[in-house]
Structure 1
Amino acid sequence: MCGIAGIFHCGTPKPVDPARVRAMTDALAHRGPDGEGVWAAPGVALGHRRLSIIDLAGSPQPMASADGGAMIVFNGEIYNFRELRRELESSGARFRTDGDTETILAAWQKWGPDCLSRLHGMFAFALYDLGRRALFLARDRLGVKPLYTALLSDGSLAFASELKGLLAHPLLRREVDPLAVEDYLAWGYVPDHRSMLKGVGKLAAGHYQLLKHDAPPAAPVRWWDVSFAERRRESAADLEAELLFRLREAVTSRMVADVPLGAFLSGGVDSSSVVALMAESARDPVRTCSIGFDTAALDETSYAREVAERFDTDHRERIVASNDFAEIGRLAAMFDEPFADASALPTWRVSQLARETVTVALSGDGADEAFAGYRRQRFHAVEERARSLVPQSVRRRVLGPLGSLWPKADWAPRPLRAKTTLMSLSQSGEEGYARALAISPPELRAGLYSEAMRRELGEYRAEQPLVDLMRSAPARSGLDRAQYADLAFWLPGDILTKVDRTSMAVSLEAREPLLDHRLVEFAAALPDRMRIRGGQGKWLLKHAMERYLPHGVLYRPKQGFVTPIAQWLRGPLASEARGIGCGATLARTGWFDGERIAALAEAHISGRSDHSRLLWQLLMLDRSLAALKIA
């Protein structure tokens, strides 16, 4: 894993100062402590920080092709590079290294942009073709690896693996996009179609961009998308057999490394499945690690320990105190943009634990999105059946007003919390799912904003891009559309951002075998009943893994990586909660009604309501702005 950065002049190929690119890569040193380099030519400069994983001594970057006609900086891993290498050698290509980076160069020279469809892995790279005088930027299918871009005032385009790389460029404007604030309050992160700063973008997952010196920047091109439009018709037994084959293929391909390798093990279905298949193919005990909490209701280490004992792994665990919030400022700085998924803290902690003994760790991320493991997906499938029975005009006229009047009963048992369900059923399926996915509904957000901020936002609502995405999805059912939204919107914006930043902060490479694109494409073609059956999500995956894992691991209620933020904000962080609305950084923005935020904080601290997720969002926004030195 690595960090990349660079500058490219669109139009006149002005000289690029290599020192400027070196400053950008220095800001990414945590992503690559093992090596660094900068290459420059008229109108372009590429920079790289290396974390050595494969061909430790022989693949420094920036790297030139064998004929010197192309240069590349690359972040990620290509898991089928040896097969590609043999194919390219058979057609005359020659290689000087034993790594995957040079394979990308040769693939580009043979197939051009079509090379991307042959690459199996996670990647973001920038390749400069000297003959074409063109820069090729590309990002992997599902957005495992990030790539930020910005058009600067001197006519150049700058790019970097993280926003902090761009922030090292003196011409980058630090002006917040108010639409990004609305997006962040809705989702808890800034999704990939936007950035916190005006003028900064993110190359979307499954897209590339080809830039030339003699033309304005071309629009990004989609080169891959997952389709839910087809259905497999084989028997459950045949589909299960194929699933196991694809799971083994995905896991074993990600076990190739010239450095110590291990796995995150939470004790849930997904990470346990990965560890089971690693143990099946490994000669030595798999190195596993788990993080637990000193609060019993949040601790899953007993399940992880059960799986570790079953497969005789070399297991390590660490208990994190329930008051482990002292470094939330450092956590906010990792992400540059505000990021409020509270599971980032334990993910960072487990990455720290893993890095003590390994350089690469496999994770179980992606199965919930691909195989329908989230409760909201199951609820959405049920709600879609209800919507099909009652015309939308009736639902809007009856259920909408009823939902708006229904009390918000955070204290009540879940089946009695009808407000969200009524509001969801009054809307279209896409609008209802956007409401289910959002942290705070639009009516709550509108009440937080100042009058000036409401004018800035105009008619924009954060849910609309997700609604549009679902309506245009290559899908056949409501469940398909929900999963498509999770794979294309939630996964890169939240889950993969969290894992990338927290693992890279400690120079650890995280690999996600359950996001092998062939496995995701297989899952997308499964009939709904193979994904959800008998109220169980991930039905086929769980059924296939019954031969490996205990029933209690496979079928216990999903918990996830959680932190006790509600308790924190009523206890040791109560003063922080009270100060959010009038805190110096957030107050200076003029975006919010401080009195309204203060009232929500008091309601939470007193126990009358649970506003912990919203208050945590605002706290992380405040810390992020302070880290960026914006407000």
Structure 2
Amino acid sequence: MCGIVGIWDSRGTRAIDRQALLRMNESQHHRGPDETGLHLAPGVGLGHKRLSIIDLATGQQPLFNEDRSVVVVYNGEIYNYGELIPELQALGHVFHTRSDTEVIVHAWEAWGEACVERFRGMFAFALWDENRQTLFMARDRLGVKPLFYAQLPDGLWLFGSELKSLMTHPGLKREIDPRSVEDYFAVGYVPEPRTIFTSAMKLAPGHTLTLRRGQSAPAPRRYWDVRFTGTNRISAEEAQRELLERLKESVRLRMISEVPLGAFLSGGVDSSAVVALMAEQSKGPVKSCSIGFDDPAFNETEFAQQVADRYRTEHFVDRVETDDFDLIDTLAALYDEPYADSSAIPTYRVCQLARKHVTVALSGDGGDETFGGYRRYRMHLAEERMRSALPLGLRQPLFGLLGRVYPKADWAPRFVRAKSTFQALARDSVEAYFNTVSIVRDDMRGLLFTPEFRRKLGGYRAIDVFHEHAQRAGTDDPLSLIQYIDLQTYLVGDINTKVDRASMAHALETREPLMDHPLVEWMATLPSDLKLRGGEGKWLLKKTMEPHLPNDVLYRPKMGFAVPLSRWFRGPLRQRVRNALLDGELNRTGFFNRAYLEHMVDAHESGRRDYSWPMWTLLMFEAFLRVGGHAPAMASAAAAPAETVAA
């Protein structure tokens, strides 16, 4: 696991500013504290920060081919590199290292842009081919590893593993994109391919970008997508047997390491399954790491301990105070963009714990999306059955009216909170799901934003992102559709972002067996009733793991990695939140309606309403502005550049 950066001249061979490249590289020192590498040539500069995992002696980067005409900087792991080496050697390529990095340069020589289709793993890399005058960038299929890029007005291109590396360059304009603000307040992160700034982009998962000197830049090319067909009519028993073998293989591939290796163990189904399969394939005890909380409502350590005891893992537990809110500014600096998932706090802490004992940790991330585990999936399917009973033309006026007149009752038990249900039934499937996952919903954003800000949006709405993905999903199956949307949005923008930044802050490599792309592709061929059956999410995974895990772990209610925001904002963080929302950077942006901010703070403090999630989203946006020192300059949506730019 590493950090990469680069500067490339699209118009000629101007000398690259070495100091600018160094600043970009050192901004990501946390990603790779073991070694630093630079390559400068006319018109191109590449930088690398290395966290040594495989081929400790000879895996330094930037890494070249035999005649030094091709050079690469790379972040990630290609797990099938051992299979690709003899294939490439048979084609005449000579290897000088035992690293997976060298596979990339020879695969490029052999297969060109299609090389990425041969790689199995998590990766983001940039490759310069001197003979072809081509810069080639690629990101793995599921977006585990990040890659940011920008074109400057003078024709220079910047790229890096984190946005902060681009932000060190004086040529990058920090103008906030109003569409990204709208997206952030809807879902809590800035979805790919945009960033918070108009001047920078993320390379989307499963995409490559090929830039040739002197030519116009094409749009990024999609080289992979998952298709939810549901056409595999395998029996449940056969599916369990095949899933177990696929899980074992995925875990085994991710246990290759020349440094200490372990796993996160939360006590949930996904991480417990990974630890169980690691233990069954490991020669020695697995090192497992858990975070406990002093509040029983958030503490899962007893379930993690059951798994640790069963498999005799070397188990490490740190206890965290539930009032562990001192990380707010640390997280704002770490994520570079506004990011509102409060579970980033315990994730940061468990990565901190794990790094004391291991350099590589396997996680259970991706299990909910792959196997159908979120509670919201069950709720959505129940609503879908109700929506299918009436045509949209009847549902919209009937349930729309009920949704408007029924009182909001956040304080009440869920079964009497009918307002949200009525609103959901008045919408189509995509709009209803978007409303379910939104932090600050459409009506609230209408009150939160000023008229000037809404004009800047030019009619853009955050739901447009969901509609775009839904149109490409290629499925009408209700569960498959929202799984596909989550794979394109929430998994990448929230989960993978959270884990990458939190782990790399501690120079810890994380690996995700449940995001193995052949496994994801195979699961997408299975009918939805093997994933969600009888109200039980992850049905196939749980049945498969019954011989390997306690029933208490498999079938208890899902808890999640949560923090007590509502209590914080009425207690120890009360004044801090009031100051941040009413007297901080938010008011200087001109984005927000102060009267509505005052209403939110007063209503939450008094207990009349629970605004904890919208307030946390605002608090993290204020921290982004303050910690990053970002001027509140804002482009209009119409003025923001298109995703395809000219070189």
TM range (shorter): over 0.9
For 1:269-312, what per-residue CA distance to the aligned partner results, in whole angstroms no more than 9, with x for missing partners? 00000000000000110000100110111100111111100100
The one-letter amino acid of 2:511's match is R
Instruction: Give the TM-score of the pair, scaled to structure 1.
Output: 0.99
Shift of 1:415: 1.6
- In structure 2, the residue matched to 1:274 is 274
Cα distance in 2, alignment partners of residues 245 and 338 from structure 1: 40
SS in 1 for 2:317: strand
Aligned pair 1:379/2:364, yes or no?
A: no
Q: Which residue of 2 aligns with 1:562?
A: 562
Letter in 2 for 1:116: V
Which consecutive residues of structure 2, in runs of 5 or more, have no partner in the other structure? Answer: 632-647
Query: Which residue of structure 2 aligns with residue 222 of structure 1?
Result: 222
Mapping 1:69-468, distance limit 5 Å: 69-468=69-468
Letter in 2 for 1:522: W
Between 1:343-352 and 1:39-48, the stretch displaced more is 39-48
Does 1:9 find its partner at 2:5?
no
Distance in structure 2 (CA, Å) of the matches to 1:406 and 1:512: 43
Residue 534 of structure 1 aligns to a residue whose secondary structure is coil
Does structure 1 conserve the Cα–Cα contact (< 8 Å) formed by 2:230 and 2:528?
no
1:435-514 matches, cutoff 5 A = 435-514=435-514
Alignment-mate amino acid for residue 439 of structure 1: I
Deviations 1:306-361 (A, max 9, x none): 11001000001011011111121011111000111000000000000000010000
Check 1:27–1:505 CA distance in 2 against 1; reply closer, same or farther (3 A cut).
same
For residues 61-109 of structure 1, give each alpha carbon's deviation from its aligned partner in whole angstroms, at most 9, with x where no partner exists: 1111123120000000010101111211122211000110001111111
Aligned mates of 2:28, 2:216 — CA distance in 1: 28
Give the Cα–Cα distance (whole angstroms) in 1 for the partners of residues 604 and 302 of structure 2: 32
SS in 2 for 1:547: coil
Distance in 2 separating the partners of 1:584 and 1:238: 58
1:536 is matched with 536
Equivalent position amino acid for 1:162 in 2? E
Q: CA RMSD in A?
A: 1.0
Given that 1:18 and 1:38 are in contact with CA atoms closer than 8 Å, whether structure 2 keeps it comes out as: no
1:413: how far off? 1.0
Amino acid at match of 1:463: I
Name the stretch that deviates more: 351-360 or 377-386: 377-386
Cα offset, 1:468, TM superposition: 2.5
C-alpha separation in 1, matches of 2:67 and 2:415: 66
What's the secondary structure of 2:14's corresponding residue? coil
For 2:22 and 2:534, the matched residues in 1 are separated by 56
Distance 1:33 1:193 in 2: 28
Amino acid at match of 1:73: V
Whether the 8 Å CA contact 2:228–2:475 is kept in 1: the answer is yes
Instruction: After TM superposition, give the deviation of residue 230 of structure 1 in Å.
Output: 4.5
TM-score (norm 2): 0.96
Once the two structures are overlaid, the 10-residue window that deviates more, 443-452 or 276-285, is 443-452
Give, as a single letter, the amino acid of the residue that structure 1 aligns with 2:283: R
Distance of 1:102 and 1:366 partners within structure 2: 28
Amino acid at match of 2:272: S
Deviation at 1:376, TM superposition (A): 1.1
Q: Distance in 2 between matches of 1:476 and 1:526?
A: 14
Query: SS at the partner of 1:290?
Result: strand
2:30 corresponds to 1:30: yes
Which letter does structure 1 place at the counterpart of 2:606? S
Q: In structure 1, how many angstroms separate the alpha carbons of the residues matched to 2:486 and 2:423? A: 21
Separation in 2, partners of 1:37, 1:444 = 48
Seq. identity, %: 51
Letter in 2 for 1:616: W
Residue 479 of structure 2 aligns with an amino acid whose one-letter code is L
Structure 2 distance, partners of 1:474, 1:116, is 23
Q: Secondary structure at the match of 1:74?
A: strand
Q: Which amino acid in structure 1 is aligned with residue 254 of structure 2?
A: R
**Contact map agreement 2:59 2:98 (CA 8 A) in 1:** yes
Match of 2:549 in 1: 549
Alignment coverage as a number of residue pairs? 631
Q: Indicate the residue corresponding to 2:635 in structure 1.
A: none
Deviates more, 1:262-271 or 1:396-405: 396-405
Give the drift of 1:581: 3.0
1:11 Cα deviation from its structure 2 partner:
2.4
Contact 2:174-2:199 within 8 A present in 1 as well: no
Q: d(CA) in 2 for partners of 1:428 and 1:233?
A: 29
Deviation of 1:458 after TM superposition, in Å, equals 2.8
Deviations 1:563-586 (A, max 9, x none): 111111110100122223322311
Per the TM alignment, residue 212 of structure 1 is displaced from its structure 2 partner at its CA by: 0.6
Paired residues of 1:150 and 1:199 also in contact (CA < 8 A): yes
**Bigger CA drift: 133-142 or 380-389?**
380-389
Q: 1:519 offset after TM fit, Å?
A: 0.7
CA distance in 1, matches of 2:216, 2:15: 18
2-side partners of 1:402 and 1:72: how far apart?
A: 59
Question: In structure 1, how many angstroms separate the alpha carbons of the residues matched to 2:392 and 2:609?
Answer: 32
- SS in structure 1 at match of 2:248: helix
Amino acid paired to 1:402: L
Alpha-carbon distance in structure 2 between the residues aligned to 1:195 and 1:134: 25
- Partners of 1:168 and 1:577 in 2: how far apart? 30
Q: Using the TM superposition, give the Cα deviation of residue 419 of structure 1 relative to its aligned residue in structure 2, in angstroms.
A: 1.4
Judge conservation of contact 2:327–2:345 (CA < 8 Å) in 1: no
Q: Is the 8 A contact 1:11 1:216 kept in 2?
A: no
SS in 1 for 2:173: coil
User: Is the CA contact 1:37–1:47 (under 8 Å) kept in the aligned structure 2?
Assistant: yes
Amino acid of the structure 2 residue aligned with 1:358 = V
User: How many angstroms apart in 1 are the aligned matches of 2:463 and 2:438?
Assistant: 8
* Long gaps (5+) in structure 1: none
DSSP 3-state at the match of 2:270: helix
Q: CA deviation at 1:27?
A: 0.3
Contact 1:28 1:165 in 2 (8 A): yes
Show the counterpart of 2:587: 587
Following superposition, the deviation at residue 627 of structure 1 comes to 1.8
Q: Which moved more, 1:152-161 or 1:135-144?
A: 152-161
Q: What amino acid is the match of 2:444?
A: L
Deviation at 1:9, TM superposition (A): 1.6
SS in 2 for 1:209: strand
Moved over 3 A (4+): none
Displacement of 1:497 in angstroms is 0.1
Shift of 1:199: 1.3
- Residue type of the partner of 1:511? R
The match for 1:577 is 577
Structure 2 Cα separation of the partners of residues 166 and 264 of structure 1? 31
Structure 1 contact 580–597 (Cα < 8 Å) conserved? no
The superposition leaves residues 113-134 of structure 1 with CA deviations (integer Å, 9 ceiling, x where unpaired) of 1111110000000001111010
Cα distance in structure 1, aligned partners of 2:584 and 2:324 = 24
Q: Counterpart of 2:546 in 1: which secondary structure?
A: helix
Alignment partners' CA distance in 2, 1:206 and 1:468? 16
Structure 1 residue 19 displacement after superposition? 2.1
Deviation at 1:427? Answer: 0.8
What is aligned with 1:62? 62
Aligned to 2:642: none
| SS of the residue 2:137 aligns to | strand
